[in-house]
Structure 1
Amino acid sequence: MDQPIGVIDSGVGGLTVASELMRQLPKEQLIYLGDTLRCPYGPRPKEEVIQYTLEMVDFLMKKNIKLLVIACNTATAFTLDLLREKLTIPVIGVIQPGARAAIKTTQNMKIGVIGTEGTITSKAYPDALHSIHSDINVYDLACPRFVPMVEKGVLTGEEAYRVVEESLQPLKSEKIIDTLILGCTHYPLLKDTIQSVMGEEVTVISSGEETAREVSAILGYQALLYEGERATKHVFYTTGSSEVFAHIAKQWLDIPIATVETAYLIST
């Protein structure tokens, strides 16, 4: 079916999911919307996150998308069930895929989760992990300094290492977990630094690969895959600076991005 896949995120973090979608589904067109003007979502009240997410969804639904990926853990935690009831197209979040990937990986049944304040407070990951395996021990930790740092493009170097090391100290000092879920789609942009801080004995899990696999399976099951031939052109929107967004997108995705357009949402 020749309709695009819609991807929404609070900022640039969802590009980590978009990148994996492009790799696994090279024929599909993506329309990506990052709400960089109002990022981060993590510290915001639940009602505000829901409002902003619905505004992004309304914007993309006008683009005739065939499937929606909520590439933001906070928005997934607060709006996934609501959007599945509201929309007639498939809606995929990033929490369940991340939980499944972690359970496949862990050897000692002790899994760490790092995310925004909103995601950690929601207990969405412990709920998802325990719904799959009740014996999993979950150690979760909010890392509110990560998203603003990523949105500024600070991904490596001394500052990034210092912030990551200070933030992860409570998890690292315990020396218990063998698997760490990056419970925010911004965090894979810091994956190398996070891995360096946590050490090689901890496996760091990003939900992008598993999320893309789920999207592929649903599109195939519902006969929504595009099977024609075309030069795929992805479309990117942001509510903030198109220049900053384009710089990070090109740096992370390693693909040419002709333009990043500005999206004007209701309350921006």
Structure 2
Amino acid sequence: MNEAPIGMFDSGIGGLTVMKAVMRRLPRESIYYFGDNARGPYGPRDLPEIRSFALEIASFLEAMGVKLIVIACNSATSAGLLEVQRRLRIPVLGVVEPGARGAVQATGNRRIGVIGTVATIRSRAYMRAIHALDAGARVHSRACPTLVDFVERGETQGPGIEEEVRRYLSPLIKRGVDTLVLGCTHYPLIREVIGKVMGEKVKLISSDEEVAREVEENLKRRGYLRSSEQAPLYRFMCSGSVDQAVKLGRLFLGPEVERVERVELPLREVGR
């Protein structure tokens, strides 16, 4: 099990922000990444549908022999984490609780903003997770449905994205939040724009580094850390456009994205 890869998935390329953090923290670990770009973004979809996608992809990765799965997608974590954990035989981690924990630790005035997809905000997953840690915290949530589309197009800077970010975040600025949770794994890719709009006094929290820490702790506790000196294997799969996945993968992760395999839906196990 030590040499087995870690599995990760997202509705597209946003989860690569989590993968990058895990690669930095655990440079020996092999990783299989699946981007469901044929059906993403998940945000506008109903929670039961997202849950079914999450279970399908997680089961697919488990069948490929991964030793742990990270649901590197806030919408899929909010909709399906508990069901996936219940159904699979290997550890499954999400991204909501780490982000909530980081926000509670960072806030000074206990006014926390959360931005995410419609599905994530509708699920109230962040509100529950934050209040489980601090019942007195004020949580102000805002769905930002178009931001994922900007990122998936590779449009992470410029007046268009800045205007859209400002439109979404103005109400949170008026609420006086001192901490903002980037409740979508795509959002760290536009962190610079979000920071410019919110101002330097507002702390921006993304769950990628905290998730990487949890992955390390989980593998260490189980004795599953990879010890081989051989170079790790990074395998990238998608359900939609390979050209888009390669282009954006290289833009946001780097040259590690050498090739992407297209896997037909519904998912079936492919060669290891």
Task: Mark yes or no: TM-score above 0.5.
Answer: yes
Partner residue, 1:257: 257
Q: Which residue does the alignment assign to 1:181?
A: 181
Look up the match of 1:6.
Answer: 7
- What's the counterpart of residue 218 of structure 2? 218
Q: Quote the offset at 1:265 in angstroms.
A: 2.2
SS of match in other structure, 1:36: coil
Q: How far has the Cα of 1:119 moved from its partner?
A: 0.6
Report matched runs for 1:158-197 at 5 Å: 158-174=159-175, 176-197=176-197
Quote the offset at 1:159 in angstroms. Answer: 1.2
Instruction: With the length of structure 1 as denominator, give the TM-score of the two structures.
Output: 0.97
Give secondary structure in 2 for the equivalent of 1:20. Answer: helix
Q: Which amino acid aligns with 1:69?
A: V
Instruction: Give TM-score scaled by structure 2 length.
Output: 0.95
Asked if 1 retains the 8 angstrom alpha-carbon contact of 2:103 and 2:181, the reply is: yes
Distance in 2 of aligned mates of 1:168 and 1:245: 29
Identity of aligned residues (%): 44
1:232 paired with 2:225, answer no
Match of 2:270 in 1: none
Runs of 4+ in structure 1 over 4 Å off: none
Q: CA deviation at 1:78?
A: 1.2
Q: What code does the residue aligned with 1:94 have? A: V
Alpha-carbon offset, residue 98 of structure 1: 0.5
Tell me how far apart the structure 2 counterparts of residues 50 and 219 of structure 1 sit (CA, whole Å).
25
What CA deviation, in whole Å up to 9, does each residue of 1:114-170 have, x standing for no partner? 001111011100100111111111110000011111111111111111111112121
Alpha-carbon distance in structure 1 between the residues aligned to 2:121 and 2:258: 36
Question: Secondary structure of 1:38's match?
Answer: coil
Superposed displacement of residue 59, structure 1: 2.0
Q: Is the 8 A contact 2:166 2:197 kept in 1?
A: yes
- Secondary structure of 2:99's counterpart equals helix
* CA displacement at 1:42 relative to structure 2: 1.0
Residue 55 of structure 1 contacts residue 265 of structure 1 at CA under 8 Å; is this kept in 2? no
Question: In the alignment, what sits opposite 1:102?
Answer: 103
One-letter code aligned to 2:118: E
The answer as to whether partners of 1:68 and 1:90 remain within 8 angstroms in 2 is yes
Paired amino acid for 1:164: V
CA shift at 1:57, angstroms?
1.4
Is the CA contact (8 Å cut-off) linking 2:55 and 2:83 kept in structure 1? no
Give 1:213 deviation, angstroms.
0.3
Deviation at 1:231, TM superposition (A): 1.1
Unaligned 5+ runs, structure 2:
268-272
Residues 158-192 of structure 1 show CA distances to partners (whole Å, capped at 9, x for unaligned) of 11111111121211233x11100000101111110
- My pick for the range that moved more, 258-267 or 232-241, is 258-267
CA distance in 1, matches of 2:97, 2:255: 28
**How many residues end up aligned between the 2 structures?**
266
Tell me the equivalent position of 1:247.
Answer: 247
Query: Does the residue aligned with 1:69 lie in a helix, a strand or coil?
Result: strand
2:8 counterpart SS class: strand
Q: Is the 8 A contact 1:110 1:179 kept in 2?
A: yes
Cα contact 1:76–1:93 (8 A) shared by 2: yes
Q: Deviations over 1:244-267 (max 9, x none)?
A: 111111111233322011121218
- For 1:1-268, list aligned pairs within 5 A: 1-174=2-175, 176-266=176-266
**1:56–1:265: 8 Å Cα contact kept in structure 2?**
no
CA distance in 1, matches of 2:188, 2:38: 21
SS in 1 for 2:177: coil
